[in-house]
Amino acid sequence: EYLNRIHEMDKLLGAFLTVDAERALQKARWLDEKWRKGEPLGPLAAVPVAVKDNLCTKGIPTTAGSRILENFIPGYDATTVSRLEAADAIVVGKTNMDEFGMGSSTELSGFHPSKNPWDPSRVCGGSSGGSAAAVASGMVPFALGSDTGGSIRQPASFCGICGLKPTYGRVSRFGLVAFSSSLDTVGPMASSVMELASVFQVLAGHDSMDSTSLLDKVPCYKDILQERGALDLKDIKLGVVYDERMLSSKGFGQVEDVMRCFQESVRVFTHLNAKVVAISLPFLEEALAAYYVIAPSEASSNLARYDGVRFGIRQEAAHISELYQKSRGMGMGSEVKRRILTGTFALSSGYYDAYYRKALQVRQLVSQQLKNLFQQQLDIIICPTTPCAAFELGEKIKDPVKMYMEDLLTIPASLAGLPALSVPMGFDSDHLPLGLQLIGNQQREDILFRAGHAFQ
Ligand code: GLN
């Protein structure tokens, strides 16, 4: 049924880069047989899942949205994929994304743009746009995305679904094509918070293959959500960020619509008995600027391995430097090249102190600020996920800074490594979905699930 739906709908949406129907049906038959024999099945038995194309899947092409990895077929699964497989989920395919995760619209895929199921003349967000479009259109019940600076939350917001960026280190990065290693996270996308929690249960937890993986035990989220009184939020203190003036001054359209939905969301939380206090998130713009130094710097190092020798396409050349030049020149898109150049510049001697070190200091400052807010007994910080709803295809593609501004509200949680959830909060005047962002303290995904579930 799901494969038929993909066959019908994906011509219009372009959410997938690869669909492996044969493999999916084979696993379905195998699970069916097990079930008939009365053998035990995993918690996600026979649930189809789409996986972002920067997560390695054994025997299935993994391109990270880049031409340079067009012919790359990994010999192993990412830990997140093998955990889903072990829970008996069925991987149906790989989803489109901005090349190496660099972008906010999935227009910067090396293959084709993906479209928003609510209005196919609009973007689906990015970089996990293919996963968001696949879930929102019902082609799969859930999907995996990755979030470095907002790539799960922003597309979830644009497509009217839920997405979780976990605490850094909570979900293994093993087998994730690295973009910015100190910021990269892998997380689930689904229609409801309950579903997110069930998938997260399978994904979260220590992995010895990832040296930054946290050792802490993972609680049972289902139990927490089903506890008596779990949906009464009287023990939860919410910090509410009202930054309408700042958003308006940045020239975002529809700020009134975003703020109207946001105010209504705050009202919902007061009805759920949460305590609400107004706070402000200073350094938003500085955080954005710091991100766009740190992420490209790490990327410039991480992407050095795509040289046409070990991975991906190789161009004919007379000598080695020409081989690098030609392979990277034709295999990588212009945004990727821009990031490599800015990153290399920021890291080079003479500029390191002025840019990279400064950016790290800003990161430290932002993290400390957020830490202080949580120490003052706040449980959750809420703000809109994005400053506007899904924009028209092509609208921001020529202006990288406009595209970067999309991440204004998602970056702080990324810099601080904090968990953040996006849940649908309403529609703008064009009937496009908008998302609410809930940021939690380190490893407090449980509180985010509780509040998000009650809100939904
Ligand atoms: N839009 C941001 C960027 O282009 C975030 C991407 C991400 O989270 N992977 O870097």
pLDDT digits (tens, 9 = 90+) for 68-87: 999 999 999 999 999 999 99
CA distance 452 to 183: 23
If asked whether residues 249 and 218 sit together in one domain, one would say no
Q: What is the pLDDT of residue 242?
A: 80
| Residue 368 within any structural domain of the chain | yes
If asked whether residues 14 and 143 sit together in one domain, one would say yes
If asked whether residues 31 and 178 sit together in one domain, one would say yes
| Residue 362 within any structural domain of the chain | yes
Joined tokens for residue 299: 């990327």
If asked whether residues 125 and 80 sit together in one domain, one would say yes
Average pLDDT over all residues of the chain: 96
| Residue 322 within any structural domain of the chain | yes
If asked whether residues 63 and 138 sit together in one domain, one would say yes
Q: What is the pLDDT of residue 312?
A: 82
Amino acid identity of residue 86, one-letter, is A
Q: CA 306 → CA 67, 279, 326, distances in Å?
A: 11, 44, 12
If asked whether residues 278 and 161 sit together in one domain, one would say no
Residue nearest to atom 10 of ligand 1 (CA): 102
Task: For 181-230, write each residue's pLDDT tens digit.
Answer: 999 999 999 999 999 999 999 999 999 999 999 999 999 999 999 999 99
- Which H, E and C letters describe the chain, residue by residue? CHHHHHHHHHHHHCCEEEECHHHHHHHHHHHHHHHHCCCCCCCCCCCEEEEECCECECCECCCCCCHHHCCCCCCCCCHHHHHHHHCCCEEEEEECCCHHHCCCCCCCCCCCCCEECCEEEEECCCCCHHHHHHHHCCCCCEEEEEECCCCCHHHHHHHCCEEEECCCCCECCCCECCCCCCCCEEEEEECCHHHHHHHHHHHECCCCCCCCCCCCCCCCHHHHHHCCCCCCCCCCEEEEECCHHHHHHCCCCCHHHHHHHHHHHHHHHHHCCCEEEEECCCCHHHHHHHHHHHHHHHHHHHHHHCCCCCCCCCCCCCCHHHHHHHHHHHHCCHHHHHHHHHHHHHHCCCCCHHHHHHHHHHHHHHHHHHHHHHHCCCCEEEEECCCCCCCECCCCCCCHHHHHHCCCCCHHHHHHCCCEEEEEEEECCCCCEEEEEEEECCCCHHHHHHHHHHHC
Percent of the chain with pLDDT over 90: 94
C-alpha angle 381/363/398, rounded to 5°?
A: 90
| Residue 339 within any structural domain of the chain | yes
| Residue 393 within any structural domain of the chain | yes
CA distance 220 to 149: 27
Distance 152 CA to ligand 1 centre (A): 9
CA distance 451 to 272: 9
| Residue 355 within any structural domain of the chain | yes
Q: What is the pLDDT of residue 336?
A: 98
Q: What is the pLDDT of residue 244?
A: 66
Residues labelled catalytic? 52, 127, 151
Q: State the total domains in the chain.
A: 2
Joined tokens for residue 192: 């409801």
Distance 102 CA to ligand 1 centre (A): 5
CA distance 426 to 264: 9
pLDDT at residue 116 tops 90: yes
CA distance 139 to 163: 16
Q: Is 79 within 8 Å of 207 (Cβ atoms)?
A: yes
CA distance 413 to 363: 10
Amino acid identity of residue 340, one-letter, is I
If asked whether residues 291 and 354 sit together in one domain, one would say yes
Classify strands 48-52 and 142-147 as parallel, antiparallel or unpaired. parallel
Distance 299 CA to ligand 1 centre (A): 11
Distance 305 CA to ligand 1 centre (A): 20
| Residue 231 within any structural domain of the chain | no
Task: For 350-360, write each residue's pLDDT tens digit.
Answer: 999 999 999 99
If asked whether residues 195 and 46 sit together in one domain, one would say yes
Count of alpha carbons within 13 angstroms of residue 115, beta-carbon side = 13
Residue 193 burial (C-beta neighbours within 10 Å; 0-12, 13-18, 19+): buried
Sequence-distant (≥ 6) Cβ neighbours of residue 346 within 8 angstroms: 293, 296, 297, 352, 355, 356, 359
End-to-end CA separation in angstroms for the chain: 27
What pLDDT band is residue 92 in, cutting at 50, 70 and 90?
Answer: very high
Q: Quick one: which atom of ligand 1 is closest to the CA of 103?
A: 4
pLDDT at residue 16 tops 90: yes
What pLDDT band is residue 248 in, cutting at 50, 70 and 90?
Answer: low
CA distance 95 to 163: 15
Q: Quick one: which atom of ligand 1 is closest to the CA of 102?
A: 4
Tell me which of 95, 151, 410 to substitute to probe ligand 1's pocket, judged by most ligand atoms within 8 Å of the beta carbon: 151
ipTM of the complex: 0.97
If asked whether residues 120 and 153 sit together in one domain, one would say yes
Ligand 1: which residues within 6 Å by Cβ? Answer: 101-104, 127, 147-151, 179, 295, 407
Q: Quick one: which atom of ligand 1 is closest to the CA of 414?
A: 8
Amino acid identity of residue 9, one-letter, is M
If asked whether residues 268 and 204 sit together in one domain, one would say no
Domain holding 364, by residue range, is 237-415
Task: For 376-433, write each residue's pLDDT tens digit.
Answer: 889 999 999 999 999 999 999 999 999 999 999 999 999 999 999 999 999 999 999 9
CB environment 345-362: b (16+ within 10 A), e (fewer): bbbeeeeeeebbebbbeb
If asked whether residues 220 and 241 sit together in one domain, one would say no
Task: For 177-186, write each residue's pLDDT tens digit.
Answer: 999 999 999 9
Q: CA 220 → CA 204, 223, 376, 455, distances in Å?
A: 11, 6, 27, 20
Tell me which of 54, 124, 407, 422 to substitute to probe ligand 1's pocket, judged by most ligand atoms within 8 Å of the beta carbon: 407
Specify the CATH number for the domain of residue 64: 3.90.1300.10
Q: What is the pLDDT of residue 246?
A: 65
Count CB neighbours of 444 within 10 A.
Answer: 17
pLDDT at residue 299 tops 70: yes
Q: CA 27 → CA 48, 87, 221, distances in Å?
A: 10, 12, 27
Task: For 127-178, write each residue's pLDDT tens digit.
Answer: 999 999 999 999 999 999 999 999 999 999 999 999 999 999 999 999 999 9
| Residue 450 within any structural domain of the chain | no
If asked whether residues 179 and 300 sit together in one domain, one would say no
